[in-house]
Amino acid sequence: MRAESDGATPGNAKVLGIDPGLDCTGYAVVGAEDARLYDAGVIRSTTKAALATRLCEIEGGVEDVLSEHAVELLVVEDLFAHYKHPRTAILMGHARGVILLAAARRGIDVLNVSATRIKKALTGNGHASKRQVQAAIMSTFGLSVAPEPADVADAMAGAFYGVSTRAVGAKSERG
């Protein structure tokens, strides 16, 4: 879903939304001032590779995005654990770790937000389905087709949350 490269030019601040996952990490770059979608896609890791290799692949993909865009804020989903699937939270935690490391190396502010909070801000319903999030993203960004996979829509929602709540430069929500 690449719109265009903007380079890392001052005054052209971007918000990077990331939906972390070990297999598929969704990302989206949105303009902080114009709420325009500049870039969106997924970073995939090699499923059968060792965990350390997969984390390197994710970190490398995030570094590529950060190198291409003047990102001032990274919005990433908070960790959550479902009692039936605790392993999912642990694996997501590994992916979040390398994502946060990449941001810290570049001095990029990070906003940790729950998926429920992002969904509520975007759709009015904190428990919106993947389809509802995709539909809201289509409407928000004027897209003719839903972003696929859903991880991309979730990342777009996170980036839009960062822009719409004017979180760029606001230290109060960081954590």
Q: 52-63: per-residue pLDDT in tens?
A: 999 999 999 999
The catalytic residue positions are: 19, 77, 151
Q: 95-112: per-residue pLDDT in tens?
A: 999 999 999 999 999 999
Cβ(7)–Cβ(67) under 8 Å? Answer: no
Q: 122-145: per-residue pLDDT in tens?
A: 999 999 999 999 999 999 999 999
Tell whether the model's pLDDT for residue 86 goes beyond 90: no
Q: How far is CA 7 from the centre of its chain?
A: 19
Show contacts of 136-144: CB within 8 Å, 24+ apart. 141/37
Locate 77 and state its tokens: 């989903």
